[in-house]
Amino acid sequence: MKTTIKLTIGIIAVIFAGLVYSSYANIAGFYIPVVDMVVCHDPHTCFHEKGHSIDNGRSETVEFANAAQVFRIVADTNNAVDEMSYRIRKFPGVGSDYEQTTCRLFIKCDPRGWGGYSELYAEIYAMAEGNPENIPEIFRTFYKVD
């Protein structure tokens, strides 16, 4: 019974994903948790959506928020200039006001509210191209796949 329900939901999700994806060309991609499905059209977006798929709530923990704040403080103190550090420091909704964020740095930045820790989590994974070695050390434990 559970397999049938999941299969039915999966078929509906695939149909829905196809309709949405083809109807809205400006949607870069999305993740459908109920069937663990990523819909995307370019490598960066695919990595970003894959980041959502492995998140499992890690991005919404106090520990992840603290790691992000420590990273930002250290990067600010050290005047880090690499692109990943800069993007993490300026990420919308994570210690920066949406109005102060440079939205052009992000593929899908909505200055009215896109951002936050779950999007930061996915974006770090995308910037690292899924390679744990490219993820800043302070965040690596959050990306271990069970």
Highest mean pLDDT pick, 23-27, 50-54, 75-79 = 50-54
**Residue 91: left if φ>0, alpha if ψ -120 to 50, beta else—which one?**
beta
pTM for this entry: 0.72
87 closest CA partner among 57, 67, 107: 107
The per-residue pLDDT for 47 is 93
The per-residue pLDDT for 5 is 61
Query: Given a cut of 60, is residue 20 above it in pLDDT?
Result: no
Alpha helices in 78-109 (DSSP H): 83-89
Predicted confidence band at 80 (pLDDT cuts at 50, 70, 90)? confident
